A and B are shown apart, each in its own frame.
Chain A
Amino acid sequence: MLWLGVAYLAALGALFITSLWGQNDFTGEIERVWSFDNYRQLWEIPVYRTIAFRTIGIAALVTVVDAVLAFPIALYMAKVASPRVRRLLVIAVLMPLWASYLVKAYAWRGMFSQGGLIDWLGGPFGVSSPGYGLIATIVTLAYLWFPYMVLPIYAGLERVPDSLFEASGDLGAGSLTTIRRIVLPMAFPAVVAGSIFTFSLTLGDYIAVTIVGGAKQLIGTVVYANVGAANNLPFAAAFATVPVVVMLIYLAAVRRTGALESL
């Protein structure tokens, strides 16, 4: 019954073992020689280090963008909207989640294209589309993972009792002060819960990056290139452990905020 689970764990373990093997430069065959060469390469070749840090940086930026955009809409849904509007908003936020991931990334390729909608909208203001690159990547990824951030924050804010708002108001605080001193600290675990999704999903992505990222490489595209064209599975395996390790560190760090319980 739990065969699949066990098989999956075995596959992960085997992946790690493979990352310790080498590859013959001439034949491309995998050589079962134990070494940390792949990991040393990762650290010593500056390109890979840059790519790893760039990926983590983008993941962080995407998370911040999503959190900033998601908070007001979640607050509106949880505390201002009437039950009927709230229901409609939940559907409106969820709908894009069912639309194909690929189609959404593709849609942004259309937005950022030369002579596309962004060019047309920005034209009168002298703004032109930044083209395919890091900015397009961040926007697209933030767009893709947006519902994963809204829903946990919305659930978290719904749990903040109205009486706290009233108590804070009675004590003389304005709405903004209440949000800053009462609501934000209480919603923080929910934001962190959402950030786990946005962070993890960004670290592993390579499709959206290929579609709107232009020539910029992230961890995902390097791993993909090494499994496919270069056929260097051991190196790909070694690089793929980077997001896993980053995620484990991140999860360990956020455990104390209580975010894991509110997932």
Chain B
Amino acid sequence: MIIDARLKLVLRVLTGLVLLVVYVPLALVVINSFNTDRTFTWPPSGLTLHWWNAAWNSAGARDALLVSVEVALLATVIALTLGTLAGMALRRTRFFGRNVVSLLIILPIALPGIVTGIALNNAFRTMLDIELGFLTIVVAHATFCIVTVFNNVLARLQRLGPSLEQASADLGAGPLTTFRLVTFPMLRSALLAGALLAFGLSFDEIVVTTFTAGPEVQTLPIWIFQNLFRPNQAPVVNVVAAVLVLLSTIPIYLAQRLSDDVASGSAGAAH
């Protein structure tokens, strides 16, 4: 054995402890949403479903959720289009400044969110004179979502190589037919993975959003942040937070399914 038994035990215990610390706060959020008490005191003085009902009827939370979903969907669509195009362009052509362009696409996610946030805020307000609102959020989110699609598409294209598309062209298909029948099916699972990431990023984003949202539009994270410090809203925030914790298992499940597909897909291709 490469690691002796005693060290293995130590590693196992440490891993268990760390995972415990990772999940206890999340569990706490879920339990607190049933707490009869308005504060975070532990142990809870009693359990109730009252706050879940209150949250369901909270107009602010529901509106914010709707805005978040809309923004995330639009940003994902823009990111899918531009990310795929950029990925295909950068694979095919070797022009001067190719590395500069790929650095440019990665930059919005590599720099601290606050820098991207005020750079866009400054650009919208002082340079372009655009009123901050729904559309500025979508543009801002699309800016940093492109990279997730771009990375996935580029990786897939480079792994598969151009031979299938060349074969398609040799058989007489035009560029559009080739894209529809050959390139797109090859990219499908990469695009899905990129879209999933983009949607998740956008749905959760708060830093860039604070700087690009106008005073009238609220995404769900902004709504939570604004109600966080109001004691009488705390129980409703608890419920929304609990719902978000529970919802986060969905993308994990989807991502897992997706990676299974990819694994079996490439295994199939190897036959």
Contacts and interface: CB of A to CB of B under 8 A. Distances in A.
Interface of A: 1-2, 4-12, 14-15, 18, 30, 69, 72-73, 75-77, 79-80, 89, 91-96, 98-104, 106-111, 113-117, 119-120, 143, 146, 162, 165-166, 169, 174-176, 200-201, 203-207, 211, 220, 223-224, 227, 233, 236-237, 240, 243-244, 247
A247 B111 contact: yes
B22 A98 contact: no
Interface of A is mostly: helix
23 contacts: A1-B82, A2-B86, A8-B116, A18-B122, A30-B126, A73-B14, A73-B15, A76-B11, A98-B249, A103-B29, A106-B241, A107-B25, A116-B42, A176-B7, A200-B110, A200-B111, A200-B112, A205-B114, A205-B207, A223-B118, A227-B121, A237-B118, A240-B114
B41 interface: yes
A169 B4 CA distance: 10
Nearest to B249: A95
Contacts of A243: 112, 114-115
B143 A8 contact: yes
B224 A106 contact: yes
B235 interface: no
Interface stretch (B46-54, B99-107, B156-164, B183-191): B99-107
B214 interface: no
Interface in B205-257: 206-207, 210-211, 221, 224-225, 228, 237, 241, 244-245, 248-249, 251-252, 255-256
B86 to A, nearest CB: 6
Interface residues on B, range: 35 or more
A116 B146 contact: no
Interface string B1-41: 01110011011101100110111111011001000000111
B127 A14 contact: yes
A110 B21 CA distance: 14
Contacts of B221: 100-102
Interface string B43-87: 100000000000000000000000000000000000000100110
A76 B86 CA distance: 39
Nearest to A13: B119
B158 to A, nearest CB: 16
B236 to A, nearest CB: 13
B118 A80 contact: no
A72 B14 contact: yes
- Output the residue of A94, A174, A204 with the most chain B CB within 10 A: A204
Given A99-B244, A100-B248, A175-B7, A72 B42 contact: no
Contacts, number: 226
Given A107-B26, A111-B24, 18 more contacts: A1-B89, A4-B82, A4-B143, A4-B146, A8-B108, A10-B123, A15-B123, A76-B15, A91-B252, A95-B252, A96-B23, A102-B204, A110-B40, A117-B42, A200-B111, A211-B228, A240-B114, A240-B118
B142 interface: yes
A116 B43 CA distance: 8
Contacts of B110: 200, 247
B249 to A, nearest CB: 7
Contact of B115 (A76, A104, A240): A240
Nearest to B211: A227
- Output the residue of B7, B19, B146 with the most chain A CB within 10 A: B7
Contacts of B112: 200-201, 203-205, 220, 240, 243-244, 247
Interface of B: 2-4, 7-8, 10-12, 14-15, 18-19, 21-26, 28-29, 32, 39-43, 82, 85-86, 89, 101, 104-105, 107-108, 110-116, 118-123, 126-127, 139, 142-143, 146, 200, 204, 206-207, 210-211, 221, 224-225, 228, 237, 241, 244-245, 248-249, 251-252, 255-256
Given A14-B127, A211-B228, A98 B241 contact: no
A1 B41 CA distance: 53
Given A11-B119, A204-B112, A113 B40 contact: yes
B248 A8 contact: no
A48 B131 CA distance: 31
Contacts of A143: 21-22, 25
A115 B206 CA distance: 29
A77 B120 CA distance: 40
A9 B22 contact: no
B120 to A, nearest CB: 6
B114 A11 contact: no
A109 B42 CA distance: 13
